[in-house]
C-alpha cells in the first residue's frame, strides 16, 4: 500500500488507495466527477422513495472511481484503510447502480421501483437467472423483494429492460435455494 | 488426541472430555440482529422447514438441524451466520455499547466483529483489524452480507498497531481473539492436533503476549478487554494474561456467562499465575457439548 502523493497535492483528483468523504453538495466538491452526499441521498429518494433522513447518521465515502461506501462510525477524511462500512452505490456511469448488500440492508425503506416476486421467481432471481416479467414502472435498476415471515424482504438489485428482469446478484452471493 | 493427555490433571471428568472431543460438532448459527430481530428469523426458519434449538445462555445462538446452513433463505438474507456456539461467547462478555469505539485486533473472518457491531445496534465504531490480507477479503464479504455499517477494516500487525489514522487515541473496549494452537476446534477440524508441538505453542504464545500488551495500551483507563482463544493450553491462556498483568496496568474481572465452565488455573507445570486468573473461564467440550474455549475479562486500570 503506497501513497504516491501527499493529501495537499491530490486535493484535485481522486486517489485509488484511500477513502475520501463525499462533499455535502456538488458546489463543495474539489474532485471532478465525484458524487456529493446530497446527490446520493437525492438519488435514493428520487429513484426508490427512501426518505433522506434514513441516512442522517451515516457518512458516504468514495474509494477509486465511483464506488460509494456508507459508514456509521468515526473516521477522518481522507483515510487509508481496507474498508469503511459497506459498499452501497456505483456512480460515475450513466445509470447509478446500488449494490445487492445495500439493498438487503436498507431496501425495506423503499417505496418506489420495488418489484415483488413470488417464491419461485425469487428462487430463480437468487440463482442469478434472468426472467420474463411484466412491469409498469420505470425501466432500469429495481429492488427485487419477496414475502418472508410476514414482510416484504429485499433480495437484491434487478435490471428491468424489454420485458425482462435481469438478476444483478453477484456470483459470490448467488444461491440455489 | 495425544496432545490432550497432558490436561488430565486439570480437567474434571477427563474421560468425558476426551469422548466429547471425539464427537463431531453440530451446526450452529448466530442470528444477525442487524438484519432481522430474533423472532422474525425464527419464523422464517420455521417457514423454511428448518428445525432449530435456541441456546439456553443466548437466544441469538441456534443449533440447526441441517448440514447446509448456508442453503437457507435466512442465510441468503444475512439473518443468520454460521458461527460456532462458543465463538459467540467473547463478544457477549466484552458487552460493547452503542456509540463506543471498539477494537477487534484479530478480526478475520469477521464473525465476532460483526457480532460486536450487532450488539452495538450497528452504531459506533468497530475497528476490525487483521494481519492477513487474504482473510480480510473473507471478513469484508461477511460484513457486507450481514449489513454491518459500523466496521472500519484495517490490515496491520496488532502487536505494534497505530491509532494515528483515527482521530481518537484509545478504544473503549478491545477484543483479543488471539491466533492459537486451536486445540478446542478438534470436533470441527479432526486434523487440528496434527501439527501440535510444544515449540509451536511457545511460538504462538509469544505473539499472543505482544498482542494483548498492545491491546491494554490502546484501551482507555476503565475500558474493558476480553482475551480469548480456542485452545486449552495454559501457555496460551493464563500465562499470557499473567504476562500482561505483570507488565501493563490492568486487572482480571469476573466473566459473567450462562454456560458451564471451569475456572482459570493458577499453576501449570511448575509455573504459578496470579490468583485472579481463577476469574477466567475454561469452557470444555463436555460441559455444554460445544467446542473448547478460554475467555478472560480485563479492566484497564491506568
Kindly state the percentage of chain B with pLDDT values over 70: 100
Contacting residues of A for B41, CB less than 8 Å apart:
149
pLDDT tens sequence across A67-88: 999 999 999 999 999 999 999 9
Q: Is the peptide bond before B75 cis (omega within 30 degrees of 0)?
A: no
pLDDT of residue A15: 59
CATH of domain A113-173: 2.30.130.60
How many angstroms away from the CA of A79 is the closest CA of chain B?
Answer: 7
| Prediction ipTM score | 0.95
Instruction: Read off the pLDDT band of A10 (50, 70, 90).
Output: very low
Contacting residues of B for A177, CB less than 8 Å apart:
71-73, 76
For residue B176, CA distances in Å to B87, B180, B193 come to 13, 11, 22
Among A42, A101, A56, A65, which Cα is nearest to B114's?
A101
Contacting residues of B for A71, CB less than 8 Å apart:
149-150, 152
A99 and A140 in contact (C-beta within 8 Å)? no
Q: Is the pLDDT of residue B136 over 80?
A: yes
pLDDT of residue A8: 36
Q: Is the pLDDT of residue A136 over 90?
A: yes
Separation CA B242–CA B276 (nearest Å) = 9
Mutate to test the interface with A, among B76, B97, B142, B151 (most CBs of A within 10 A): B76
Structural domains in chain B, CATH included, are 2-24+85-300 (3.40.50.150), 26-83 (3.30.70.1170)
B250 classed as catalytic: no
pLDDT tens sequence across B56-68: 999 999 999 888 8
Kindly state the percentage of chain A with pLDDT values over 70: 91
pLDDT tens sequence across B23-34: 999 999 999 999
pLDDT of residue B128: 98
pLDDT of residue A13: 57
pLDDT of residue B101: 98
How many angstroms away from the CA of B141 is the closest CA of chain A?
Answer: 9
Q: Strand pairing partners for B61?
A: B30
Query: Looking at chain B, which residue has its C-alpha nearest residue A99?
Result: B144
Separation CA A170–CA A102 (nearest Å) = 13
Q: Is the pLDDT of residue A5 over 60?
A: no
pLDDT of residue B270: 95
Report the largest interatomic distance among the alpha carbons of chain B, rounded to a whole angstrom.
56
* Torsion sign, CA atoms B103, B60, B81, B41: negative
pLDDT average, residue stretch B235-259: 97
DSSP 8-state secondary structure symbol assigned to residue A141: E
Q: How many cross-chain Cβ pairs, A to B, lie less than 8 Å apart?
A: 106
Dihedral of CA atoms B59, B61, B63, B64 in degrees, nearest 10, equals 100
Nearest CB to B149 within list A85, A99, A155: A85
Nearest CB to B153 within list A58, A83, A99: A83
pLDDT average, residue stretch B163-172: 96
A145 and A155 in contact (C-beta within 8 Å)? yes
Q: Do A86 and B149 touch (CB under 8 A)?
A: yes
How many angstroms away from the CA of B161 is the closest CA of chain A?
Answer: 13
Mean pLDDT for all residues in chain B? 96
* Torsion sign, CA atoms A119, A124, A125, A127: positive
Q: Is the pLDDT of residue B100 over 60?
A: yes
pLDDT tens sequence across A87-105: 999 999 999 999 999 999 9
Helices (H) and strands (E) in chain A, counts: 3, 11
pLDDT of residue B67: 81
pLDDT average, residue stretch A61-65: 90
Instruction: Read off the pLDDT band of A44 (50, 70, 90).
Output: very high
pLDDT average, residue stretch A123-140: 97
Which residue do the cell numbers 426472467 mark?
A131
Is B217 buried (19+), middle (13-18) or exposed (0-12) by CB count in 10 A?
middle
Where are chain A's structural domains? 19-106, 113-173
Contacting residues of B for A83, CB less than 8 Å apart:
136, 140, 143, 151-153
* Phi, psi at A74, each rounded to 5°: -95, 140
pLDDT of residue A16: 47
Q: Is the pLDDT of residue A3 over 90?
A: no
Q: Is the pLDDT of residue A109 over 70?
A: yes
Amino acid at each position: 500500500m503506497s501513497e504516491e502523493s501527499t493529501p495537499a497535492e491530490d486535493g484535485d483528483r481522486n486517489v485509488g488507495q484511500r477513502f475520501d468523504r463525499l462533499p455535502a453538495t456538488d458546489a463543495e466538491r474539489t474532485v471532478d466527477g465525484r458524487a456529493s452526499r446530497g446527490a446520493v441521498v437525492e438519488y435514493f429518494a428520487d429513484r426508490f422513495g427512501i426518505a433522506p433522513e434514513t441516512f442522517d447518521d451515516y457518512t458516504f465515502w468514495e474509494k477509486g472511481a465511483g464506488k460509494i461506501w456508507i459508514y456509521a462510525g468515526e473516521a477522518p477524511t481522507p483515510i487509508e484503510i481496507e474498508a469503511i462500512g459497506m459498499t452501497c452505490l456505483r456512480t460515475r456511469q450513466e445509470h447509478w447502480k446500488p449494490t445487492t448488500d445495500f439493498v438487503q440492508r436498507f431496501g425495506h425503506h423503499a417505496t418506489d421501483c420495488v418489484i415483488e416476486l413470488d417464491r419461485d421467481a425469487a428462487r430463480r432471481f437468487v440463482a442469478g437467472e434472468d426472467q420474463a416479467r411484466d412491469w409498469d414502472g420505470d425501466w432500469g435498476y429495481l429492488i427485487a423483494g419477496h414475502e418472508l415471515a410476514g414482510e416484504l424482504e429485499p433480495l437484491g438489485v434487478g435490471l428491468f429492460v424489454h420485458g425482462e428482469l435481469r438478476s444483478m446478484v453477484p456470483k459470490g452471493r448467488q444461491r440455489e435455494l | 488426541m495425544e496432545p490432550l493427555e497432558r490436561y488430565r490433571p486439570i480437567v474434571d471428568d477427563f474421560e468425558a472430555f476426551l469422548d466429547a472431543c471425539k464427537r463431531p460438532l453440530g451446526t450452529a448459527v448466530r442470528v444477525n440482529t442487524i438484519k432481522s430481530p430474533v423472532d422474525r428469523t425464527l419464523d422464517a426458519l420455521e417457514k423454511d422447514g428448518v428445525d432449530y434449538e435456541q441456546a439456553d445462555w443466548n437466544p441469538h445462538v441456534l443449533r440447526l438441524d441441517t448440514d447446509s446452513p448456508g442453503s437457507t433463505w435466512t442465510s441468503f438474507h444475512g439473518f443468520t451466520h454460521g458461527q460456532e456456539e462458543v465463538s459467540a461467547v467473547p463478544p457477549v462478555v466484552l458487552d460493547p455499547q452503542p456509540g463506543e469505539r471498539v477494537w477487534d485486533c484479530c478480526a478475520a473472518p469477521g464473525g465476532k466483529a460483526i457480532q460486536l457491531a450487532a450488539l452495538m445496534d450497528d452504531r459506533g465504531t468497530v475497528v476490525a483489524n487483521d494481519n492477513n490480507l487474504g482473510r480480510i477479503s473473507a471478513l469484508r464479504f461477511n460484513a457486507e452480507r450481514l449489513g454491518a455499517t459500523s466496521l472500519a477494516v484495517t490490515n496491520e500487525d496488532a502487536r505494534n498497531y497505530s491509532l494515528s489514522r483515527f482521530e481518537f487515541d484509545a478504544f473503549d473496549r478491545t477484543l483479543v481473539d488471539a491466533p492459537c494452537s486451536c486445540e478446542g476446534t478438534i470436533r470441527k477440524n479432526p486434523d487440528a492436533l496434527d501439527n501440535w508441538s510444544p515449540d509451536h505453542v511457545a511460538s504462538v504464545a509469544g505473539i499472543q503476549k505482544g498482542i494483548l500488551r498492545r491491546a491494554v495500551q490502546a484501551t482507555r483507563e476503565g475500558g474493558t478487554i476480553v482475551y480469548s482463544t480456542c485452545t486449552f493450553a495454559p501457555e496460551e491462556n493464563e500465562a499470557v494474561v499473567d504476562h500482561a498483568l505483570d507488565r501493563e496496568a490492568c486487572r482480571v474481572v469476573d466473566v459473567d456467562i450462562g454456560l458451564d465452565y471451569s475456572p482459570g488455573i493458577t499453576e501449570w507445570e511448575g509455573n504459578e499465575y496470579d490468583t485472579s486468573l481463577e476469574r477466567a473461564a475454561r469452557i470444555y467440550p463436555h460441559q455444554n457439548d460445544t467446542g473448547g474455549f478460554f475467555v478472560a475479562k480485563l479492566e484497564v486500570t491506568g
